[in-house]
Chains A and B, each alone.
Chain A
Amino acid sequence: MQTYSSIFLFLFLTLILGCDENQSSKNKDPEKENALQSILISDSSNIAIPEVLQRIENIQQALKNSVPVILLKNLDTFQTQAQSIALHDAKFKENLFDKKTNQPYRNEIFNIYAARPQEVPMAFQKGQCYKVEMYNYALNLTTTAIVDIASNSVVSVGNIPQSQPDIPAYLKDLALKIAVHCPQVTQALGYKPGESEALMANTKTALNLTKCERSMHLCVAPTFIKQDKALWVIVDLTDHRVVGLRWTQVGDAGPVKKISEKKLKFDKIMNCYCKKVTALEKQDWKLNYVITTSDGMRISEVYYKGKLILNNAKIVDWHVSYSNSDGFGYSDAVGCPEFSQAAVVAVSEPRVSEIIENGRSIGFTLEQNFSSEQWPQPCNYNYLQRFEFYRDGRFRVAGASLGRGCGNNGTYRPVFRISFAGNENTLSEWKTNQWIPWQTEQWNLQTPQTPYTSEGYQFKLFDPSGNGFFLEPGRGQFADGGRGDNAYVYLTLQHPDKEEGENDLVTIAPCCNPDYHQGPEKFIEPSPEKTEKTSLVLWYVAQIKNDDTPGREYCWAESYLENGAYKTRVYPCICGPMFVPIKPAL
């Protein structure tokens, strides 16, 4: 679960977009059809049924104990003794607490059984050995102990990282309850299932059937059969929630398709958002969007009140450099999770949210996150792309780093590319209290000395009739936590016939150039072309320094323990220009 702690002025009501069902129903490939119809549930809050609330209370109670372990109950005498012996062993208890903060991890005894002969060392074959299996939710770690009841001693202790023991019956029951109370399950099946209808729930995902390999959480997959299909419900027992649903075909001669968290997400994103363009029509806006192979999410054919505004807009690169080491950093492309040139990939669906101000909707956002697999661990990244569209015709092309990166001395430089509609556009810069047109391709750096109009505009892009947009760069005024962009702005002539970004662009510049060499200058130098009354592309490269100072975190993420398992707290650094209509639309 992510906890967003940045200060937003607006209240966002989020809607996860779905694939076009009419289009998908025409699909003849059943597996593709199943992928299209799968549901990712991004809401990280758990299902508030009494059993889950009781479970959380039990966890919190156990974490208060000096030995913070959820014990296995309903045991016979020997099992009880085995559990007690194990929990008195220092090595078995080695990973009960975070070694830095001394906060307790969530640990739970899953199984206690008479050890199999092959598990018992020769010297203890005549004893009465039991195996005790404990799971650590925070570290995704299994700790086992072979204990000898006869000698009241621990024979051996082992740790198996990134593994989970078979889950006990009561967790199976809990997973079933979570699954049957999930509204999306009822919706998918067409009725509310009973718990007895779920199959294979005692087969834990990490062993045979499926895994939550990205979150590294404990997951199980209750499965419901309906006619010739099986509905897999991936239940996350670390967070007590449903990760998503996916139908598979049953009864075929081929092997059963196994659904994991990664497969569920990747198949859905690839089929719904990478291979097809989605149309969005909302308020007075109409546009298309797609997740690209290397340029993040691209919006295109953007209309406001029936007028074409943008050809397209996207972020082509994220350059990250670290100041303590010359040339150290990364030039990240973001995009589709498979068969792409993306270093940081989409692992969730696009989201559309209302922008609420004073209780009413003043516009909406379209957002997409891209994340490294191990984020928020060091040297892993998470980027947010956001497009804001307002009822009054303003729009904003924005992005944010959600950390965490390789250090606290990083500078992020997202490279925005905004291709304007129209072939008679001119860009002017506010200078010496007047608008000065840029007659040729060039660039400019926003500095503390940069002049702005009284409204905060730095540029205007307009056609011969005077229609167009002011560009208002980020200076920390958007009340979204952003602290200013310190941006380079480049103007280039639009060349649909050249590889200058109308199609997907490969990475256009290295990580660590500290000056204007961020990539767009390649389309300007050495011979800048004329740019008056023509088709124009604006490039905007914000420069944002991260910060991990407590209370001032920026472009940062950190893990913290909640109920003994790790959560993520993020501090986004939002950047990007606002475009304001020169003439208000009628």
Chain B
Amino acid sequence: MTETEISGIGMQSCRQSAPFIRKLGFDPSRTAFSSSEKNMKGLAIFELPKPGDTIKKLWQHKTWSQFGYMGSITTDENGNAYTAPIPFVNTLDNPVSIINRIYKVDAQSSELKLFAILPQADTSPGVVPHGVLGLFYDCHGHKLYAASVAGSTMEKENGILYMLDPATGKVLDELKGFDACGVFVGGITGEKKLYFGHARTPNIYTVSLDKEGYFDGKPEIALSLDQLGPRGDDKARRIRYDQYGNLMVFGVEFNFNLAAQSDKPETVYQFGYNRVEKKWLLMKIH
């Protein structure tokens, strides 16, 4: 991989809007998937209002709510969207036995279908009710990454980071022993790395990836949200670069329970990379 190629990872998006979005009459440049619309189960798409307008358009395909509440969403270069179920307040829609799954919205038909069944979690008492907490499609390696905490308990961290083939849903590689939430692939530091938020601590780890996206080495702590922001122990729900290559970490409170507020406070932490010290430094808290 050339330096230019690596530094573009995570910056150059390959993502395309799904053809069905235009067919619905939505403007793709103002439309996005959402899994957190009030009083809506599952996925929806929304179109932001035009400047000067206030009406937000919402649409949901009939299949998008059938598997219960969804969490992380990522899209690929063809406009397909991948998402995973979450227990929202309770486990009625998605008990532990079927939580560790990934679903896909087909870019053409807009139908939501089961995409991958990850190993079923142990359903014995004490096992956390959560499954996949983070998804990210890497435009460079054309791979799908999933962070699952299924099977973890208070005493044992059994989470697994999966790398999947987006064409087949087959697991190609895995990194065991980490309960991770938000995931992201970037190369601004000069190395292609997977960033992942630790679900048990406010730390954000990185692990090197090879060109094809396979895990290469051991994870290391890259930065931390410890004592930052209004809560001081946020977990990284989502990680992305901004247009300048700063790392934007979307932090929320997470304690491996099902507590959910209607407006869960989220704080965005902006980190810049210091190439001399080879460190991520906090720039701003939004």
* Least Cβ–Cβ distance between A63 and chain B, in angstroms: 26
Q: B233-286: which have CB < 8 Å to A?
A: 233, 253, 255-263, 265
Q: Do the beta carbons of A338 and B257 come within 8 Å of each other? A: yes
Q: Do the beta carbons of A331 and B92 come within 8 Å of each other? A: yes
Q: Which residues of A contact B154 (CB under 8 A)?
A: 270, 338-339
Please tell me if B153 contacts chain A, counting CB pairs below 8 Å. yes
Please tell me if B29 contacts chain A, counting CB pairs below 8 Å. no
Q: Do the beta carbons of A343 and B253 come within 8 Å of each other? A: no
Please tell me if A163 contacts chain B, counting CB pairs below 8 Å. yes
Q: Which residues of A contact B227 (CB under 8 A)?
A: 208-209, 258
Q: B54-99: which have CB < 8 Å to A?
A: 87, 89-92, 95
Q: Do the beta carbons of B257 and A345 come within 8 Å of each other? A: yes
* Least Cβ–Cβ distance between B132 and chain A, in angstroms: 17
Main secondary structure of the interface of B (DSSP, over half): loop
Q: Determine which of B95, B126, B253, B255 lies in contact with A293 in the assembled complex, contact meaning CB atoms within 8 Å.
A: B126
CA distance A405 to B227 in the complex (A): 30
Given contacts A162-B230, A163-B230, contact A342 B92 (CB under 8 A): no
Q: How large is the interface on A (under 10, 10 to 19, 20 to 34, 35 or more residues)?
A: 35 or more
Please tell me if B129 contacts chain A, counting CB pairs below 8 Å. yes
Q: Determine which of A206, A260, A293, A325 lies in contact with B125 in the assembled complex, contact meaning CB atoms within 8 Å.
A: A293
Given contacts A163-B230, A506-B95, contact A380 B261 (CB under 8 A): yes
Please tell me if A266 contacts chain B, counting CB pairs below 8 Å. yes
Please tell me if B160 contacts chain A, counting CB pairs below 8 Å. no
Please tell me if A15 contacts chain B, counting CB pairs below 8 Å. no
Q: Which residues of A contact B91 (CB under 8 A)?
A: 341, 506-507
Report the nearest A residue to B253, measured CB to CB: A373
Q: Do the beta carbons of B92 and A336 come within 8 Å of each other? A: no
Please tell me if A332 contacts chain B, counting CB pairs below 8 Å. yes
Number of B interface residues at 8 Å Cβ cutoff, please give it: 30
Q: Do the beta carbons of B89 and A343 come within 8 Å of each other? A: yes
Please tell me if A235 contacts chain B, counting CB pairs below 8 Å. no
Please tell me if A402 contacts chain B, counting CB pairs below 8 Å. no
Q: A345-378: which have CB < 8 Å to B?
A: 345, 372-374, 378
Q: A276-322: which have CB < 8 Å to B?
A: 293
Main secondary structure of the interface of A (DSSP, over half): loop
Fill in one digit per residue for A189-218: 1 if any B CB lies within 8 Å of its CB, else 0. Answer: 000000000000000001011110100100
CA distance A378 to B261 in the complex (A): 9
Please tell me if B128 contacts chain A, counting CB pairs below 8 Å. yes
Q: B18-43: which have CB < 8 Å to A?
A: 39
Please tell me if A71 contacts chain B, counting CB pairs below 8 Å. no
Please tell me if B232 contacts chain A, counting CB pairs below 8 Å. yes
Given contacts A293-B126, A339-B126, A504-B125, contact A344 B92 (CB under 8 A): no
CA distance A504 to B90 in the complex (A): 14
Please tell me if A569 contacts chain B, counting CB pairs below 8 Å. no
Please tell me if B231 contacts chain A, counting CB pairs below 8 Å. yes
Q: Do the beta carbons of B39 and A213 come within 8 Å of each other? A: no
Please tell me if A330 contacts chain B, counting CB pairs below 8 Å. yes
Report the nearest B residue to A209, measured CB to CB: B227
Q: Do the beta carbons of B129 and A341 come within 8 Å of each other? A: yes
Q: Do the beta carbons of B90 and A325 come within 8 Å of each other? A: no
Q: Determine which of B231, B257, B260 lies in contact with A339 in the assembled complex, contact meaning CB atoms within 8 Å.
A: B257
Q: Which residues of B contact A507 (CB under 8 A)?
A: 90-92
Report the nearest A residue to B230, measured CB to CB: A162
Q: Do the beta carbons of A372 and B261 come within 8 Å of each other? A: yes
Report the nearest A residue to B41, measured CB to CB: A327
Q: Do the beta carbons of A379 and B261 come within 8 Å of each other? A: yes
Q: Do the beta carbons of B92 and A510 come within 8 Å of each other? A: yes
Given contacts A331-B90, A332-B90, A339-B126, contact A374 B261 (CB under 8 A): yes
Given contacts A262-B233, A332-B89, contact A342 B125 (CB under 8 A): no
* Least Cβ–Cβ distance between A135 and chain B, in angstroms: 14
CA distance A208 to B255 in the complex (A): 21
Fill in one digit per residue for A70-110: 1 if any B CB lies within 8 Å of its CB, else 0. Answer: 00000000000000000000000000000000000000000
Q: Which residues of A contact B256 (CB under 8 A)?
A: 338-340
* Least Cβ–Cβ distance between B97 and chain A, in angstroms: 11
Q: Determine which of A163, A331, A340 lies in contact with B89 in the assembled complex, contact meaning CB atoms within 8 Å.
A: A331
CA distance A420 to B260 in the complex (A): 34
* Least Cβ–Cβ distance between A25 and chain B, in angstroms: 22
- The contact sample of 20 A-B pairs, CB cut-off 8 A, is A162-B265, A211-B231, A260-B233, A266-B255, A293-B126, A328-B39, A331-B92, A333-B258, A336-B257, A337-B255, A338-B154, A341-B90, A342-B258, A343-B257, A345-B257, A373-B253, A373-B259, A503-B125, A507-B92, A509-B92
Binding site for B on A (CB under 8 A): 161-163, 206, 208-211, 213, 216, 258, 260, 262-263, 266, 270, 293, 325, 328, 330-333, 335-345, 372-374, 378-380, 406, 503-504, 506-507, 509-510
The 5 closest A-B pairs by CB, nearest first: A162-B230, A507-B90, A339-B154, A379-B262, A343-B258
